[in-house]
Amino acid sequence: MNLSQDRTEICLKNIRMRFQMKSGDPINVFDGLDLEVYKGEFISFLGPSGCGKTTLLRLIADILQPTEGIVTVGGISAAEARKQHKYGIVFQKPVLYDWRTVAKNVALPMEMMKIPKKEQEEKVTEMLQLVNLEGYENSYPFELSGGMQQRVGIARALSLDSEILLMDEPFSALDEFTKMKLHEDLLRIWEATGKTIVFVTHNISEAVYLSDRVCVFTANPARLAGIVDIGLKRPRNEDMLISSSYLAYMGEIRHIFEAGYEKD
Amino acid sequence: MKRIDGRHLSLILWIVGFFLMWEFAAFLLDGVLHDPMAAKKLPYFHAVISETVLNADNILLQSALTALRAAEGFLIGALVGFLLALLMDLFGVVERMALPYLLASQMIPILGLAPIIFGLVKDLDMSRVTIAAYMTFFPVSLSLLSGFKSVDIEQRMLMRSYASSKFLYYRKLALPYSVPFLFNGLKIAAPMAMTASAFVDTLSTQNGIGSIIIVALYGGGTTGQFWPAVLAASLLGIVSYVLVILAERVVERFIPRAPKEAAGEAA
Ligand SMILES: Nc1ncnc2c1ncn2[C@@H]1O[C@H](COP(=O)(O)OP(=O)(O)O)[C@@H](O)[C@H]1O
Ligand SMILES: [Mg+2]
């Protein structure tokens, strides 16, 4: 019926999250947060450390459950979506298994789902091509640079062809040059696969450069301060980083941060 | 390559050094202090060796007796330790209930426990196996449990994101990750199992490398075999340790580990 409903991939309704601290007092993250993520969009969660970005991503992944509120993913509950492998996840660290080769790491989710060996091998080849790691099939993670390891993590997250890709500050530990290269790769993959990407970052410039929409969070208390539509045309390129509209978006986001804190 | 050579060299130096120190100490006792009992208190190393060669048949036979039972007990203990660690990791209740008992079990001195077991089962071989297993299960289960517990939280989350079953969680993540921990436990346990088995020998003077020691000490007669037997018993411990290390090398070919110095060598 409703057009915007059909477009919704992830829906968070009235989310409250309470963490019981060891010291005694519980802390509350989000105070009735509402958010919709649309099918096929590239959306970023942007905010300082401690504002709840990771928590939010884990709620979507059903790694955490909200104290209050409802999370649906692809029209079903987050728990059900996890069981149906609706998403792939990438962490800040590569989180690879040291004792597995690159190919075996990428194949891990397929092994878990008992996909036939032959199919796995084809998929691994395809994925390694996608992240520019052909020829490293039989290397071990510790033989690769940090950027290459992160690529393996991305290939692994993509290998099940889930509609959604969840990424928690995937590039924040990398140097600027590697990061720029991976930005290009990620956008290329996104455009080629039409996935919905939820991208967590604390880097304003990175969020603007990659995203269709940027959700701006403030910490203490953790809450969503505003959402900015990024109208930069696609495909994005590095020249845009000095365009006036790019700088205007950066300014707008900074403004939302400051306004968010002044309210307290 | 260089490092391997260095290791071999230091091993040879260590052996030669050990030999020289022994000979020197024996010389002090015999040639400098002129102790009339020197040949009994601390004979020359070369004398011990020639005595060993003379009694090689008996020493080997008795060592094998002790070692085989120790090995059986070691395998049983390792299996029990493995299952215990798995149960404790799976069920917090089991861990809370079992851990105090496990700790308490290790407070009982083997000196007292071995005669009790021997009195109960009345069979020397069974006692050896039981005591060796008893010494083995504890370090194995604690090491493995600490491996299971130190699995990285994000590695676990990854498994959760795949809606992994418990079985696949252990098979794909927790077990391969914990292999080095398991081997640490086995390395501690192997010489202990040998010593334990040899200790059971001393309870009866029938057979086993430990019985040679005790007979030589208190029974008179075959005094000459005391030092060779002590030497053989120590060697059993060392050999068992080396065997575990070799087994670990084999397993590492299938489940490789990140070398600790990988980061340094890349730089
Ligand atoms: N397991 C937890 N136990 C207690 N507090 C937590 C836990 N996880 C997160 N928090 C708290 O929730 C807040 C948000 O954390 P997080 O989502 O990690 O923020 P971000 O990823 O934006 O840095 C922080 O104040 C943090 O201390
Ligand atoms: Mg975070």
Q: In this predicted model, what pLDDT tens digit does every residue of B97-144 receive, in sequence order? A: 998 998 888 888 888 889 999 889 888 899 999 999 999 999 999 999
Contact B256 A89 (CB under 8 A): no
| Direct distance between the N- and C-terminal alpha carbons of chain A, in angstroms, rounded to an integer | 40
Ligand 2 center from residue B215 Cα (angstroms): 68
Confidence at B220, pLDDT banded by 50, 70, 90: low
What predicted TM-score, i.e. pTM, was given to this entire model? 0.89
Chain A: residue whose CA lies nearest to B266: A143
In this structure, are B59 and B184 located in the same domain?
yes
A87 touches chain B (CB under 8 A): yes
Domain count, chain B: 2
Q: Which residue has the higher pLDDT, B63 or B1?
A: B63
- Residue B261 pLDDT more than 80? no
Specify the 3-state DSSP secondary structure of A88. Answer: strand
Chain A: residue whose CA lies nearest to B259: A142
Contact A83 B155 (CB under 8 A): no
In this structure, are B175 and B189 located in the same domain?
yes
- Residue B264 pLDDT more than 50? no
Q: Which residues of A touch B152 (CB under 8 A)?
A: 95
In this structure, are B22 and B90 located in the same domain?
no
Closest CA to A60 of A165, A170, A211, A202: A165
Highest mean pLDDT: which of A172-181, B226-235, B244-253?
A: B244-253
Q: Which residues of B touch A154 (CB under 8 A)?
A: none
Closest ligand 1 atom number to CA of residue A48: 22
In this structure, are B192 and B227 located in the same domain?
yes
CATH code for the domain in which residue B104 is found: 1.10.3720.10
A82 touches chain B (CB under 8 A): yes
Residue B12 burial (CB count, 10 A):
10
Specify the 3-state DSSP secondary structure of B205. Answer: coil
Instruction: Calculate the average pLDDT of chain B.
Output: 89
Kindly report whether the peptide bond that precedes residue B109 is cis, defined as omega within 30 degrees of 0.
Answer: no
- Can you list the residues of chain A whose pLDDT is less than 50? 1-3
pLDDT digits (tens, 9 = 90+) for B138-167: 999 999 999 999 999 999 999 999 999 999
Contacts for A100 with CB less than 8 Å, ≥ 6 apart:
A108, A140, A141
In this structure, are B36 and B138 located in the same domain?
no
A77 touches chain B (CB under 8 A): no
In this structure, are B21 and B72 located in the same domain?
no
A83 touches chain B (CB under 8 A): yes
From A20, A27, A29, mutation site for ligand 1 pocket: most ligand atoms within 8 A of C-beta = A29
Entry field: residues in chain B: 267
In this structure, are B33 and B97 located in the same domain?
no
Q: Which residues of B touch A152 (CB under 8 A)?
A: none
pLDDT of residue A1: 41
In this structure, are B86 and B10 located in the same domain?
no
Range of the domain at B94: 43-266
Dump the DSSP string for B122-160: --HHHHHHHHHHHHHHHHHHHHHHHHHHTS-HHHHHHHH
A93 touches chain B (CB under 8 A): yes
pLDDT digits (tens, 9 = 90+) for B71-93: 999 999 999 999 999 999 999 99
In this structure, are B37 and B57 located in the same domain?
no
Residues of chain B with a CB closer than 8 angstroms to some CB in chain A: 152, 154-155, 157-158, 160-164, 168, 172-173, 176-177, 179, 255-259, 262
Q: Of B161, B168, B255, which to mutate for an interface test with A (greatest number of A Cβ within 10 Å)?
A: B161
- Residue B267 pLDDT more than 50? no
In this structure, are B125 and B245 located in the same domain?
yes
- How many Å apart are CA B49 and CA A192, to the nearest integer? 76
State percent of chain B over pLDDT 90: 57
The residue with tokens 């989310």 is A15
Distance from CA of A98 to the nearest CA of B (A): 6
In this structure, are B37 and B9 located in the same domain?
yes
Confidence at B54, pLDDT banded by 50, 70, 90: confident
A140 touches chain B (CB under 8 A): yes
The H or E element spanning position B103 is: helix B92-105
Q: At what angle do helices B124-149 and B175-201 cross, to 10 degrees?
A: 150
- How many Å apart are CA B201 and CA B211, to the nearest integer? 5
In this structure, are B21 and B102 located in the same domain?
no
A141 touches chain B (CB under 8 A): yes
The H or E element spanning position A119 is: helix A117-130
pLDDT of residue B221: 54
Chain B: residue whose CA lies nearest to A91: B154
Ligand 2 center from residue B249 Cα (angstroms): 38
